[in-house]
Amino acid sequence: MKNNIRVERAKHNITQAELAEKINVSRQTINAIELGKFIPSTLLALKIARVFNSTVDEIFSLDNDD
């Protein structure tokens, strides 16, 4: 699964720690999601999308291996 979290964070000038605090997870969780090492739950994906005022589809996408 690919994601645009790093790009969205840059657009909104939000650090990993700030995003983590907004959605009540650790900074390490955000880092793992950005690196593709952790696939978030539907609820977590929705929370991330809400922070960026986007849809889940705008943040996350399946790649050919999924």
Domain ranges of the chain: 2-61
Q: Which CATH class is domain 2-61?
A: mainly alpha
The percentage of residues in the chain with a pLDDT greater than 90, rounded to a whole number, is 91
Q: What confidence score (pLDDT) does residue 46 get?
A: 98
Give the pLDDT band (50/70/90) at residue 65: confident
CA distance 27 to 32: 9
What's the pLDDT tens digit per position in 23-49? 999 999 999 999 999 999 999 999 999
Give the pLDDT band (50/70/90) at residue 66: low
CA distance 31 to 40: 12
Q: What confidence score (pLDDT) does residue 39 get?
A: 95
Which residue pairs, CB below 8 angstroms and at least 24 apart, start in 46-50?
Answer: 47/22, 47/23, 48/5, 48/19, 48/23
